[in-house]
Structure 1
Amino acid sequence: MRQGAVGHVRSVERHGRFLVEKRFADPRRRDTEVLALRELLHQGLPVPELVEVGPEAVLMTLMPGERLDAGSADLRLDRLRASTTWLRRLHELRPPGRLPSAPDDALTARRYRDAGGPALPLVVPPAGRPAFCHGDWTDGNLLAVDAGITAVLDWEAAHLGDPLRELSRAAWAAARKDPRSFDALVSGYGADPSAVRAWFPVHAAELWLWFAGAGPPEYLEQLTRELVRWPDA
């Protein structure tokens, strides 16, 4: 059994209690997840509780629910909209010290151009007030029962960053599955759609570089075809 989309995750039993064991290849990502979950324990967000932190693995409580996209397309939209309540609340929290810094988007733009990716209007928007960001607000990291969000998982990419950038990344990724997802997330959060769209080329370049480095090749080919048609991608 897996919860979340990153890392080596499995369900385990300890003294009659079912827990989730997560292993990390990078101890820095483990440390970030532990820092974030400890900070969020009493903040009201639906996150797992840490049970045991070891040098190679972390044990945490098993959260209820299914992946956000496990139901129908319309139910997914309702769940995306519901998730914005928790995303706003996260961004309003005081960030803990020692959170990693935001991704270097200027560096991403330079690397993308150097790698020969399809032409994009790569202008990095001015950063807003830094906030506590999850780092990967996607279907696989959100659990739901009916239309209610029951868990936000995989905090290993948490960082101090621009909340609008995080919303935009979630909206761009979600809209690649269903274009209606953009309105569900942006209107639910209460953001300016044009400001959200301004970040889209950055996310496209970031994902293209990821596929170029980690594959699989067919994903890179598909995304390349999409980006050649920008801004219709």
Structure 2
Amino acid sequence: MRQGAVGHVRAVERDGRALVEKRLRDPLRHDAEALALRAVAGIGIPVPELVEVQPGSILMTRMPGERLDDVAPDVRIDGLRASAALLRRLHELESPLGLPAAPDDAAIIRRYRDAGGPPLPLVVPAAAPPVFCHGDWGDGNLLWADGRITAVLDWEKAHLGDPLREVARAAWGAARKDPRSFEAIATGYGTDPDALRPWLPIHAAELWLWFAEVGPPEYLEQLTAELLAWPA
């Protein structure tokens, strides 16, 4: 069983089928994941098929492929670029009723400053009309095989939100591993990389708060050093 930040995931078999059981402690995240997977099924974004949904537990099909954060660097760049086109498709879908609202960026800024985070140029950008967002689009939640994305996983943070905010989060997170990732995601999505930059301090503050509250300490130390060198 793999334990994540919000729950547990384990491989199971039922009636000869390879399945995955995901247990979520937070009922809001549980419901968001089930709602999102139902809404995305059959529209060209590869996702697990829901087999059974019970309180606190979601049973779904096991998807083929290797995690994109485990592949060779150049392959990862190709995968991120391909994934961004899928993210664009998600943002163009009609949003299902019942999705949670976007994160409160003004509250994130207040919490960050109250916690004593490194100085950042924190301003909430003007928001676009909200769209269907995945909430945690990144190489750890993408599977890759035979030159294509074979699955988009972990939909428990699905919400209604600003599309560029989500693209910027994915691009900044990926670029911390390989700077080439930023442009790969921006161009794959079909946007100017400069359109994403106003959102980056928000994501930096959000991640710093996560590490400050959840850890591990060495991640917080590394990120703090990065943010102290943030361009003025």
Normalising to structure 2: TM-score of the pair?
0.96
Residues 137-179 of structure 1, C-alpha deviation per residue, up to 9 Å, x if partnerless? 0111100103300000000000000010000000000000000
SS of residue in 2 equivalent to 1:76: helix
Residues 189-223 of structure 1, C-alpha deviation per residue, up to 9 Å, x if partnerless? 11121120110000000000001100111111110
Query: What's the counterpart of residue 113 of structure 2?
Result: 113
Query: What's the counterpart of residue 94 of structure 1?
Result: 94
Query: What's the counterpart of residue 227 of structure 1?
Result: 227
Aligned mates of 1:230, 1:39 — CA distance in 2: 39
- The one-letter amino acid paired with 1:17 is R
CA contact (8 A) 1:4 1:140 kept: no
The change in CA–CA distance for 1:170 and 1:122 in structure 2 (over 3 A counts) is same
Query: What's the counterpart of residue 136 of structure 1?
Result: 136
Aligned mates of 2:74, 2:212 — CA distance in 1: 32
Aligned residues: 232
**Structure 1 residue 231: Cα displacement:** 2.2
Query: What's the counterpart of residue 10 of structure 1?
Result: 10
**Structure 1 residue 56: Cα displacement:** 2.8
4+ runs deviating over 6 angstroms = none
Q: How does 1:181-220 map to 2 (within 5 A)?
A: 181-220=181-220
- The one-letter amino acid paired with 1:95 is S
Aligned mates of 1:3, 1:85 — CA distance in 2: 29
Query: What's the counterpart of residue 146 of structure 2?
Result: 146
Instruction: Quote the sequence identity (%).
Output: 71
Query: What's the counterpart of residue 71 of structure 2?
Result: 71
Query: What's the counterpart of residue 60 of structure 1?
Result: 60
Normalising to structure 1: TM-score of the pair?
0.96
SS of residue in 1 equivalent to 2:69: coil
**Structure 1 residue 112: Cα displacement:** 0.6
SS of residue in 2 equivalent to 1:160: strand
- The one-letter amino acid paired with 1:99 is L
- The one-letter amino acid paired with 2:172 is W
Pairwise CA RMSD: 1.6
- The one-letter amino acid paired with 1:207 is L
